[in-house]
Amino acid sequence: MNKKKTCITFFTVILMTIGYLFAQNGFNKQKPEDMLIEGEVVDLACFTSRELSGEGHKSCATRCLTRGTPAGLVDQDGNVFVIIGPSPGYAPYAAQTIRLNGSVEGGRISPKKMETKAGKTWEEVKLSGGAPNTK
């Protein structure tokens, strides 16, 4: 009888601990935040493995993005954001500075609006499914 009480008490403590941990995890989880991020479009394979970016890497990045390598946006502070959307749409913008406005969560951005620089002004680019409209 004593072993039975000990098992029940132990089981109850385990369940309470699990419940507490799950409640804390849900409480601390942040909701996506809408942000405007300005940065260079990179292909994440070359950027994360060898830090390749810029005009000297543009043709390779364009090829990689066209083939489906995930697209990223590197801001002026060196923060890297994974662009959630079809990467072939971003291929024409490789090594260019763009602005993306969208939901940001954990280093990922789901674009709602995109702008490119035309001279001294910014022009909006239509998005379809999270990527620039190529039509």
Residue type, 135: K
Task: Please check the confidence at residue 77 and state whether its pLDDT lies above 70.
Answer: yes
Return the structure tokens found at 119: 């001279």
pLDDT in tens, 80-93: 999 999 999 999 99
Task: Please check the confidence at residue 1 and state whether its pLDDT lies above 60.
Answer: no
**Residue 17: band (very low, low, confident or very high) from pLDDT cuts 50, 70, 90:** low
Residue 12: its pLDDT value, please?
A: 65
Q: What is the mean predicted confidence (pLDDT) over 105-122?
A: 92
**Residue 133: band (very low, low, confident or very high) from pLDDT cuts 50, 70, 90:** confident
Distance CA 49, CA 46 (A): 5
Q: What is the mean pLDDT of the chain?
A: 85
Distance CA 2, CA 57 (A): 71
Residue appearing with tokens 């502070």: 77
Task: Please check the confidence at residue 25 and state whether its pLDDT lies above 60.
Answer: no
Return the structure tokens found at 39: 């940065």
Helix (H) or strand (E) holding 65: helix 58-66
pLDDT in tens, 92-112: 999 999 999 999 998 999 999
Task: Please check the confidence at residue 27 and state whether its pLDDT lies above 60.
Answer: no
Distance CA 13, CA 19 (A): 10
Whether residue 42 contacts residue 51, with contact meaning beta carbons closer than 8 Å, is answered with no
In this predicted model, which residue has the larger pLDDT, 6 or 128? 128
**Residue 8: band (very low, low, confident or very high) from pLDDT cuts 50, 70, 90:** confident
